[in-house]
């Protein structure tokens, strides 16, 4: 297997005097889809914020293509090839769909994502390209958030709560989109509560509990070990 795009080892982080992450380790290789799973409040979003430089790690390593990025600012992490679809979508409300997409565009060697290819993935965005971010439905905003992240031409696409708050039909559309991205070799790290969909999509799973990595394995291994879901994923 090739070297990982993202390699996180023994990560620790928190907010002020409150420690949230105690020992989180995970990796994502080129073309691989990996999930970060766990119950609410176990540290998934904190892990993503720390990886992306939004929160400073107190210990551990965060390597992107072998370079330690712990402590580096968010823009440096983005330049290194990580693209985020944030929880809550956070589209720019006073910009049009097309302006949202163009605002984040970045060219890299072998870049695949342009306005044309994003509109090809999400035809609805092209139909709404002159609408403001505030004039979109929740599902359309999520499509825009994914398209905006893709316009950075990321080596690794990170989605925090990929289908949170979306109607079932829109969720299915988002999962289909991610399956399409996977088939084209896009590396993805995804957080979501829909375990059945994650099992179908992902190559590997990382489960965290109280700020610690407690289990890693394939979808086949997760399906064969019901105690993992009962202990760490049930609400």
- The pLDDT tens digits for 7-59 are 999 999 999 889 999 999 999 999 999 999 999 999 999 999 999 999 999 99
CATH number for position 29: 3.40.50.300
Burial (Cβ within 10 Å: 0-12, 13-18, ≥19) of residue 121? middle
User: What's the confidence (pLDDT) of residue 83?
Assistant: 94
Instruction: Quote the tokens at residue 232.
Output: 């760490």
Question: Does 157 map to a domain?
Answer: no
Question: Does 9 map to a domain?
Answer: yes
Question: Does 142 map to a domain?
Answer: no
Question: Does 36 map to a domain?
Answer: yes
User: What's the confidence (pLDDT) of residue 42?
Assistant: 94
SS3 assignment for 31-73: CCEEEEECCCCCCHHHHHHHHCCCCCEEEEEEEECCEECCCCC
Nearest residue to 189 (alpha-carbon basis) of 5, 3, 20 = 5
Mean pLDDT by 10 residues, the chain (235 residues): 92 94 97 95 95 95 95 93 89 94 82 90 95 92 94 95 89 92 95 92 96 96 90 80
Question: Does 24 map to a domain?
Answer: yes
Question: Does 8 map to a domain?
Answer: yes
**Cα–Cα distance, 45 to 110 (Å, whole number):** 30
Q: How many domains does the chain contain in total?
A: 1
User: What's the confidence (pLDDT) of residue 29?
Assistant: 97
Exposure on the CB side of residue 225, measured as CA atoms within 13 A:
14
Nearest residue to 28 (alpha-carbon basis) of 192, 185, 145, 174 = 185
Quick check: 199 and 219 in contact, CB under 8 A? Answer: yes
Question: Does 70 map to a domain?
Answer: yes
Quick check: 54 and 83 in contact, CB under 8 A? Answer: no
**Is 0.95 surpassed by the pTM of this model?**
no
User: What's the confidence (pLDDT) of residue 90?
Assistant: 87
Question: Does 133 map to a domain?
Answer: no
Task: Give me the domain span that covers residue 222.
Answer: 1-81+195-235
């Amino acid at each position: 297997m090739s070297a990982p795009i993202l390699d996180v080892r023994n990560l620790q982080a928190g907010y002020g005097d409150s420690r949230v992450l105690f020992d989180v380790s995970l990796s994502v290789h080129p073309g691989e889809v990996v999930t970060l799973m766990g119950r609410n409040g176990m540290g998934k979003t904190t892990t993503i914020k720390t990886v992306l430089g939004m929160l400073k790690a107190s210990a551990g390593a965060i390597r992107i293509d072998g370079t330690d990025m712990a402590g580096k600012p968010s823009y440096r992490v983005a330049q290194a090839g990580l693209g985020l679809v944030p929880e809550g979508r956070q589209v720019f409300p006073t910009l049009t769909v097309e302006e949202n997409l163009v605002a984040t565009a970045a060219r890299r060697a072998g870049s695949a994502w342009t306005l044309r290819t994003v509109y090809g993935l999400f035809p609805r965005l092209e139909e709404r390209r002159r609408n403001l971010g505030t004039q979109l439905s929740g599902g359309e905003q999520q499509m825009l958030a994914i398209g905006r992240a893709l316009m950075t031409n990321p080596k690794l696409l990170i989605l925090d709560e990929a289908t949170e708050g979306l109607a079932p039909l829109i969720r299915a559309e988002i999962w289909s989109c991610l399956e399409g991205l996977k088939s084209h070799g896009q590396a993805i790290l995804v957080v979501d509560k829909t375990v059945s969909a994650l099992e179908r999509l992902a190559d590997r799973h990382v489960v965290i509990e109280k700020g610690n990595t407690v289990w890693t394995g394939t979808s086949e291994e997760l399906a064969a070990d019901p105690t993992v879901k009962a202990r760490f994923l049930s609400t």
